[in-house]
Amino acid sequence: MNAIPLHAANPGPFTGEGNWTYLIDGAVPVLIDAGVGNVPHLDAIDAATGSRPLHLVVTHAHSDHISGAPAIVERRPATRLSKMPWTERDRDLPWQPLRDGDVIPTAQGDLQVIHTPGHAPDHVCLWHATSRTVFVGDMLVQGTTVMIPASHRGSLLEYLQSLDRLLALNARRALPAHGPPIDDPAALIRHYIEHRAARESQITAALQDGARTIEELLARIYPALQPALAPMARESLLAHLIKLETEGRAERIEGGWASTNRRRR
Ligand SMILES: [Zn+2]
């Protein structure tokens, strides 16, 4: 798979160095993710594809992946638009809805749509079986973990199930929206699964010791946290608590959370 990385030119506090989008050239070039509509990105798309009709495929409706779509359509009104629906977040554009298992044709062979909810409910990965390459959007980022925005339709349980699905592909290479290409996706996925399991053990132990609130968990599990990172850590803790609640291992009580194990003892 020869995918041309096109940077979205959007570095910032939430995107790090900014987003990578990927162009698969051909008679109808396929662009994976829209960026944010910054002019250098739009110019790079034009330079790479000329006047050929474009097929834009968006991995999920977080703004650094979708908000450039209107600007792309403004420059190139014939652009075909595809994504899995998330109606509250999808911009007012004529998206063709993607479903799990759909196939997107490219000049280098088909991409298979794999629904991978968890980071976002509409998140999809795109699998190129011929080269064992997977476009992973925000499912994987080399060198860090992935935010599960529990207050905004993120789900740790679904994310872990999606990681299992990605692991089963046995991909040779993963191309993420943030950071460099990932040459050993299985190693990173296993690291993620172990990391979440270790965090979950810390949280269940803290609950059994009587920690009740997210602030108590935060102080115990992230003792040296920089204040700027606290909101993300709170979301991560909430994501774990909701997973434990779904599994019947934690419950909401007056003023916080409790382990169901502890109560039964
Ligand atoms: Zn995202």
Q: What pLDDT digit, counting tens, does each position of 196-207 carry?
A: 999 999 999 999
Distances (CA, A) of 190 to 184, 185, 186, 195, 196: 10, 9, 6, 8, 10
Confidence of residue 85 (pLDDT cuts 50, 70, 90): very high
| 89 C-alpha to ligand 1 centroid (Å) | 12
Q: How far away, in angstroms, is 16 Cα from ligand 1 center?
A: 12
Find the 131 Cα to ligand 1 centroid distance in Å. 25
Q: What's the pTM value of the predicted model, to 2 decimals?
A: 0.95
Report how far residue 78's alpha carbon sits from residue 72's, in angstroms, rounded to the nearest whole number.
10
261 C-beta neighbours (distance < 10 Å), count: 13
How far apart are the CA of 107 and the centre of ligand 1, in A? Answer: 27
Confidence of residue 262 (pLDDT cuts 50, 70, 90): low
Pairing verdict, β 4-7 and 20-24:
antiparallel
Three-class SS of residue 208?
Answer: helix
- Read off the pLDDT band of 265 (50, 70, 90): very low
In which order are the strands placed within the sheet that holds 133-137? 103-104, 111-115, 124-128, 133-137, 173-176
The pLDDT > 90 percentage for the chain reads: 94
Q: C-alpha distances in angstroms, 238 versus 96, 214, 250?
A: 33, 7, 11
Say how many Å lie between the CA of residue 197 and the centre of ligand 1.
22
259 CA → ligand 1 middle, Å: 30
Identify the pLDDT of residue 12: 84
